[in-house]
Amino acid sequence: MSKTTIVPFGPQHPVLPEPIHLDLELDDERVVQALPSIGYVHRGLELLAERHNFIEMAQVAERICGICSFIHSQGYCQGIEQLLGLKVPPRAAYLRTMWAEMSRIQSHLLWLGLSADAFGFESLFQHSWRIREMLVDMIEETTGGRVIFGTCKVGGIRKDVDAETLQRIGGKIREMESAFNEISHIFSIDRTVKQRTVGIGVLTAEDAHALGAVGPVLRASGHARDLRQLGYAAYGELDWEPIVETAGDCYARCIVRLREISQSIDLIKQCIDRMPSGEIEVTFKGKRPQGETMIRLEQPRGEVCYYMCANGGKNLERFRVRTPTFANIAPLVHMLKGCELADVPVILLTIDPCVSCNER
Partner 1 sequence: MSWFSISALVTRSALNRPATRLYPIEKRTPYPKTRGHIAFKITDCTFCTLCAVKCPTGAIVVGKTDNTWAIDHGRCILCGNCVESCRESCISLRQQSWHSMQEQEVIRYR
Q: CB nearer to partner 1: give 114 or 183.
A: 183
Q: CB nearer to partner 1: give 13 or 63.
A: 63
Q: How many whole angstroms separate alpha carbon 161 and alpha carbon 101? A: 16
Q: CB nearer to partner 1: give 130 or 337.
A: 130
Short-list 82, 92, 72, 97, CA closest to 234: 97
Smallest distance, partner 1 to C-beta of residue 99, A: 13
Distance of CA 184 to the CA centre of its chain: 19
- Residues binding partner 1 (CB under 8 A): 52, 56-57, 59-60, 63, 123-124, 127, 130, 133, 140-145, 148, 150, 158-159, 182-183, 185-186, 189-192, 194
Q: Longest C-alpha distance within the chain, in Å?
A: 70
205-220: string of b/e by CB count within 10 Å (b at 16+)? eebbeebebbbbbbbb
Q: CB nearer to partner 1: give 182 or 206.
A: 182
Smallest distance, partner 1 to C-beta of residue 60, A: 6
Residue 298 gets the label, from left (phi > 0), alpha (psi -120 to 50) or beta, of beta
Q: How many whole angstroms separate alpha carbon 225 and alpha carbon 95? A: 24
Q: Exposed, middle or buried, 116 (CB in 10 Å: 0-12/13-18/19+)?
A: buried
Q: CB nearer to partner 1: give 29 or 182.
A: 182
Smallest distance, partner 1 to C-beta of residue 116, A: 10
Instruction: State whether the Cα torsion 65-296-103-209 is positive or negative.
Output: positive
Using CA atoms, how far residue 319 sits from 48, 54, 79, 119, 257, in Å, is 9, 10, 10, 38, 30
Q: How many whole angstroms separate alpha carbon 139 and alpha carbon 128? A: 17
Q: CB nearer to partner 1: give 144 or 236.
A: 144
Cα angle 173, 174, 176 (rounded to 5 degrees) comes to 60
Q: CB nearer to partner 1: give 54 or 326.
A: 54
Smallest distance, partner 1 to C-beta of residue 264, A: 22
Smallest distance, partner 1 to C-beta of residue 190, A: 5
Short-list 183, 208, 188, 207, CA closest to 198: 188
Smallest distance, partner 1 to C-beta of residue 57, A: 8
Write out the DSSP string of 269-307.
HHHHHH---S-SB---TT---EEEEEEEEEETTEEEEEE
Q: CB nearer to partner 1: give 187 or 232.
A: 187
Smallest distance, partner 1 to C-beta of residue 130, A: 5
Q: CB nearer to partner 1: give 142 or 270.
A: 142
Q: How many whole angstroms separate alpha carbon 153 and alpha carbon 287? A: 15
Q: How many whole angstroms separate alpha carbon 134 and alpha carbon 146? A: 11
Smallest distance, partner 1 to C-beta of residue 193, A: 9
Smallest distance, partner 1 to C-beta of residue 26, A: 32
Smallest distance, partner 1 to C-beta of residue 112, A: 13
The dihedral formed by the CA atoms of 55, 59, 63 and 69, expressed in degrees to the nearest 10: 100
Q: CB nearer to partner 1: give 28 or 182.
A: 182
Do residues 328 and 353 lie in contact, with contact meaning Cβ atoms separated by under 8 Å?
Answer: yes
